[in-house]
Amino acid sequence: MHKKPDYDLENSLGMLLDWASQFMRLELNRKFTAAGIDATSEQWKVMIILWFEDGLTQQQLAEKTHKSKVSLVKLVDGLERRGLVNRRPDPNDRRSNHIFLTPKGMSIQEQLIGLAKDNLAQATADINPQELALCINVLKQVLVNMKGCDSEID
């Protein structure tokens, strides 16, 4: 007979984080689609960073999004096809591109941020604000603890 593993799946921090993240991403994608926005939650991560720091290199974006270079290139390709960003070669290093928001990419900032805030409000409904603050602090410490293990998170 097969022995069940000695592991509490329902209370596993890793599984709970994964499931919560997955459901939040899926719901954010639904919100974007319902609003007629042709972008994904993964592309949203790139766009919000560019709204704070436009013109980063692909390498800098990969680091800030915790994506591999290959994954980041695919995300930027999709954003470029949608007319939301464009690449410009680095004048000092032909191997490097800077990513800039287009006027179209800038124009949807408020709408996407509003949808993301709605998604967050849905996810945190009925959670005590002090408990939420504690949860955020704990998750930040988990990130600190784990970041040295692998800086490329996909």
CB 112 within 8 A of CB 34: no
Examine residue 3 and state whether it is found in any structural domain, yes or no: no
Examine residue 58 and state whether it is found in any structural domain, yes or no: yes
Radius of gyration of the chain (CA): 18
Question: In this predicted structure, what is the pLDDT of residue 1?
Answer: 75
User: How many domains would you assign to the chain?
Assistant: 1
Examine residue 92 and state whether it is found in any structural domain, yes or no: yes
- What would the pLDDT profile of 33-58 be if each residue is shown by its tens digit? 999 998 999 999 999 999 999 999 99
**This prediction's pTM:** 0.84
- What would the pLDDT profile of 12-35 be if each residue is shown by its tens digit? 999 999 999 999 999 999 999 999
Examine residue 56 and state whether it is found in any structural domain, yes or no: yes
Question: In this predicted structure, what is the pLDDT of residue 2?
Answer: 79
Examine residue 2 and state whether it is found in any structural domain, yes or no: no
Q: Which residues constitute the domain of residue 49?
A: 23-147
Res. 154: pLDDT tops 60: no
Question: In this predicted structure, what is the pLDDT of residue 149?
Answer: 62
Examine residue 17 and state whether it is found in any structural domain, yes or no: no
Q: How confident is the model at residue 152 (pLDDT cuts 50, 70, 90)?
A: very low
Q: SS3 letters for the chain?
A: CCCCCCCCHHHCHHHHHHHHHHHHHHHHHHHHHHCCCCCCHHHHHHHHHHHHCCCCEHHHHHHHHCCCHHHHHHHHHHHHHCCCEEEEEECCEEEEEEEEECHHHHHCHHHHHHHHHHHHHHHCCCCCHHHHHHHHHHHHHHHHHHHCCCCCCC
Angle made by CA atoms 74, 79, 80, in degrees to the nearest 5: 95
Whichever domain contains 61, its CATH number is 1.10.10.10
CB 79 within 8 A of CB 46: yes
Examine residue 35 and state whether it is found in any structural domain, yes or no: yes
Beta carbons within 8 Å of 44's beta carbon, 6+ residues apart: 28, 32, 112, 116
CB 152 within 8 A of CB 70: no
- What would the pLDDT profile of 67-119 be if each residue is shown by its tens digit? 999 999 999 999 999 999 999 998 888 889 999 999 999 999 999 999 999 99
Q: Name the residue type at position 11.
A: N
Q: How confident is the model at residue 9 (pLDDT cuts 50, 70, 90)?
A: confident
Examine residue 51 and state whether it is found in any structural domain, yes or no: yes
